[in-house]
A and B are shown apart, each in its own frame.
Chain A
Amino acid sequence: MPPAIHPVDLLRVLRHQRLTPAIVFLTSRRACDEAIGSFEHRQLPIPPTRSSAITDVLDHMIAEYPSIADHPLIPTVQRYGVAAHHAGHLPSWKIAVEELMRQGCLDAVFATTTLAAGVDFPARTVVITQSSVRKDRDIVELTVNEIQQLAGRGGRRGKDYVGFVVVTPSPYIDLGPIANGLTNHPEPIDSQFVVSYPMVLNLLKAHSIDHIQPILEKSFAQFQLNQRTDAYETKLDDVEAQLETYGQRECADWIAQWQSFSLAKKRRSHHRRKTQHDPPEISAQLAFLTPGRAVELSKDYAIVLRQYRSRGQGAPMLTVIRSSGRIVEYPASAVTAVIDEVIDVTEARRFPWCTPQSLEHAVTTLEQFPARLRRLPIRVDPNGADNPILTETLMDEFPCPTCPSRPACQKDHPQALKLRQEEHRLTKTIHALRTELWHRFQQHIEVLQKFGYLTPACQLTSEGDWARLIRINHSLLITELIRMGAFEGISASLLAGVLASIAHDDDRPASFAGRQQALISTLGQVRKIAHSLSAYEEPPLLRLDVAAIVDRWIAEPTLPWSELIHATTMAEGDIYRLLARTLEYLSQLHGLRSTHPGLADIARDAMDLMRRDVLQELP
């Protein structure tokens, strides 16, 4: 989006305040070109002496780089002293603009924010029109580093007393991030270490597998991981120190011992679920509420005939006989006191749960009870005493029930267990951080072994020995294509076309007229293979249009640059970069001349045919 202020007005203000020369950072290439174009409609010419100075410099540049002679922007530059500088232009044009700027011929250069690092020329003023940029289809805010990178171009050493950052609004602006970016400290940078197939092959070529891990440990990635590890280790030490305070217990690993003991206890009691939820005072009583026991209920005394569990909740229940002779069911909690008196009751298996004699005996005893009876004091263990029966059965398996450390273990266990778990978690994290890179490296080794570039002993096979020389993105795809013989007997233009479509990773839309059947079918095959490799390597875009551009550039050695440009909607800077990148890929194939002489020759031919016209101007 263009800035809210008209570019001509912007330049007028800057000139008026003596703030020129300026670099104006805009959001898009199009905004830059439109800004330059708008000067044609609003006349703001520069004095003729400046114009002629510009012409002199340009003539000088044209002599060196003939490709800029017919650049459509030259008249505008000469008349208004402004230029655009972005990735859509040829490198030679950008060099010319930089040279003009260095000579002080220009008042303003309109550049895109994305190429701030490539803008290697200062000006008195930097104009910022945005606080966010488009990155991979997202709009993200500029970081402090980026804003300082932009602002850093303001003020020329030796040519200015003072430099300026001028902020002017556009729809993509908020003042906060810019002000923050100008005043704040830059962000720390983090390692972006990735393991790639060429890296694995090259390292294993030079070093044996045993020496790889120390090499990976030298990376900045590991250095930063180690710093995180250090933080975790301090935490771990802290946890271990806390665990120390529990001191020695009877068994070596009392936490684990107690853990399994209490688990076993829980599991056992699961079978007799009924004891599970009793409050401690009830479970303490239960042992005494055997048949024949006298108890005190809310009003009077009763004698227990039976103890049982309710069907539904499993609550402890009692069947009692009261002094009135009635047989009643009560929950155990209804017992207000246990009396220190037990009478003989012969149990029976069905109602009334005892022999009639016992029943009669009970009733008479109840009638003879004095008003006050001695209550049985019942000690309630606040920690919940174990079911004596349960404890007994566990005794065989665990030393805990009789262990002298038992109360201490029982008390400390919950806290200690938490600490122990934390300790395990930290140890695991630390181990993961330590071995992360090595782990990733091993994953790559496995893939390379699967494809036969590495032997099971992690040595390079004959295939691996040449494959390591392909040190570019999508190296696995390219080496696989070579092994399948996909490039055998292929024409130079087709080879370059395929490589271009593998190399090109920009999804900026473009179109190109005229495509070849051979290219379409070859790319179709490559796409299939790329898809089959997608588990191991991100497949490239494999765009047909970029392949066709490169194919045509090589297939027609007399085609002038300008005609190639007109056949596509891609910017010429992008085409230049595409061709340069393809050249780089071709030169990697050329590097295989000792093992694949045929392919290397085709690559050589393609490179020779490619390097003409604009592509020959710069190294």
Chain B
Amino acid sequence: MTNDTLANQLAGLSVRLLHRLAKNRVPRHFRMGKNRLIQTLLSLSPEQQADLETHLSSLLQAHPRVPQPPKHGKGDKPKHEPNVVSRPALPPQPSVPAKPAISLQALLEGIGVPPPQSFKPDDWQQEAIDRLTTNDVILSVPTGSGKTYVAIEAMRRAIKADRMVIYTSPLKALSNTKLTEFSQTFGADQVGILTGDRRDNPQAPILIMTTEILRNLLYDAASGEIDMRLDTLGLIILDESQFLADRERGVVWEETIIFCPAQARLLLLSASIGNPDEIAAWISSIRSESCHLIQHRNRSVLLRAAYLDPGGKLAPFFRTRDIARGRGFALHPETKRLFANYEEQTLSPRSKR
């Protein structure tokens, strides 16, 4: 039997039968789709193929072939788009793609450095800063879209009003980075840092610390041992607030928010999370002022995805150029093909040896 006729016969089989054929011949065959199963079966060694053919003929006798009309409905779902297969033996698969997949050139278009622009705050940034004068604010926006700008402007306002600011981060490393950053913005004498065992410039209007340290300060204040000017505290900024869900340390964020002095405003900076509205509702329920939620999912810099084959070939990751949010996804056919090849190579028994 030639390879082509075998391929045709296999293509006529149902997936169920193909899996039965692949059993004990192809490792992890249950993960494969029809096309990959056929390809893998065709690429077996000659001895195995002879064995396969006898098995196939017996299967064909037991299950006489019923010619099936090609299913057209499938083309609507690009997810099930058949792979673009280079093997000519395979019968052409019906496909009605909604839109042609993007090309690599189109994907890589527009790389470059934009000319320097005068900075203009986005509407949401301005809204956050304005809201902070009266309300608590939660900022849940993607990484790198300018949360720090809001923090800095809010600090500037607080200092102008002669109020103290506490900025907390979950990691000491981040505290150090912020110390450098804020020192450059406000001047070194305006920024202090408190760690477990050290206090640098603790009289400064801006204090950076880890959230644990702030929690301890609030405990001390509650039991009447004030060694801090908590009454002049105007703003508490909790960076990386998604740590609220940290298994070990999350409770510290909760305590901090619960014990936050009533006159101080809270600014929670968080990466994108699923339920910022819930957190806002919670904070509103326990604090005197309502908590204002600002969230969006638009990145300030567009993000695109690509797939890099171990062989060095680059391909678009999705069929579309930009990453669509919350509407499912469709991998680029080229990526699917490359990844299938990769899996095949790494999963074949030869490479396992």
Contacts and interface: CB of A to CB of B under 8 A. Distances in A.
Interface of A: 3-5, 9-10, 12-13, 17-19, 91, 94-95, 98, 117-118, 120, 122, 124, 127, 145, 148-149, 151-169, 171, 175, 179-180, 182-194, 196, 199, 202, 205-207, 215, 218-221, 223-224, 227, 468, 471, 580, 583-584, 586-588, 590, 607, 611, 618-619
Given A169-B309, A619-B179, 20 more contacts: A91-B172, A151-B303, A158-B116, A158-B117, A159-B114, A161-B114, A164-B305, A179-B331, A180-B329, A183-B324, A188-B278, A191-B250, A196-B251, A206-B219, A219-B258, A223-B282, A224-B278, A471-B212, A471-B215, A619-B195
Interface string B186-198: 0000000101111
B114 A4 contact: no
Interface string B95-126: 00000000000001011111011000000000
A185 B144 contact: no
Nearest to B339: A175
A152 B273 contact: no
A117 B170 contact: yes
B342 interface: yes
B306 interface: yes
A584 B198 CA distance: 9
A162 B245 contact: no
B323 A182 contact: yes
B165 to A, nearest CB: 18
24 contacts: A3-B310, A5-B311, A13-B312, A148-B271, A157-B300, A158-B117, A160-B113, A162-B302, A164-B306, A166-B305, A168-B307, A168-B310, A179-B318, A186-B273, A186-B274, A188-B273, A206-B222, A206-B223, A223-B282, A224-B278, A224-B282, A227-B278, A618-B176, A619-B179
B175 to A, nearest CB: 8
Nearest to B277: A188
B353 to A, nearest CB: 16
A581 to B, nearest CB: 9
B179 to A, nearest CB: 7
Given A161-B112, A179-B329, A619-B200, A153 B143 contact: yes
Contact of B174 (A120, A165, A166, A191): A120
Contacts of A158: 114, 116-117
Interface in B306-329: 306-312, 314, 317-318, 323-329
A107 to B, nearest CB: 15
A24 B268 CA distance: 29
A155 B114 contact: no
Interface residues of B, number: 89
A136 to B, nearest CB: 10
A538 to B, nearest CB: 11
B247 interface: yes
Contact of B198 (A151, A223, A227, A619): A619
B197 A193 contact: no
Contacts of B142: 148, 152
Contact of B272 (A148, A166, A471): A148
B135 interface: no
Nearest to A167: B307
Contact of B144 (A12, A122, A587): A122
Contacts of A220: 244, 254, 257, 279, 282
A347 to B, nearest CB: 76
Contacts of A196: 251
Contacts of A186: 271-274
B274 A187 contact: yes
Given A120-B177, A151-B303, A155-B301, A471 B216 contact: yes
Given A160-B113, A202-B219, A117 B272 contact: no
B325 to A, nearest CB: 6
A164 B308 contact: no
A168 B113 CA distance: 25
Closest 3 pairs (CB-CB, A-B): A152-B143, A155-B301, A584-B196
Contacts of B195: 584, 619
Contacts of A227: 278
Contact of A13 (B176, B285, B308, B335): B308
B108 to A, nearest CB: 6
B305 A182 contact: yes
A172 B131 CA distance: 45
A192 B245 contact: yes
Interface in B171-220: 171-177, 179, 193, 195-198, 200, 212, 215-216, 219
B146 A157 contact: yes
| Residue of B222, B258, B271, B310 most packed against chain A (CB within 10 A) | B310
Contacts of A10: 308
B145 interface: yes
Nearest to A194: B251
B124 to A, nearest CB: 14
Nearest to A3: B310
Contact of A166 (B216, B222, B306): B306
A184 B111 contact: no
Nearest to B330: A179
Contacts of A124: 111
Contacts of A13: 308, 312, 314
B110 A161 contact: yes
Contacts of A587: 196-197
A192 B247 contact: yes
Contact of B222 (A122, A151, A202): A202
Given A183-B325, A188-B278, A471-B219, A165 B305 contact: yes
Nearest to B113: A159
Nearest to B326: A185
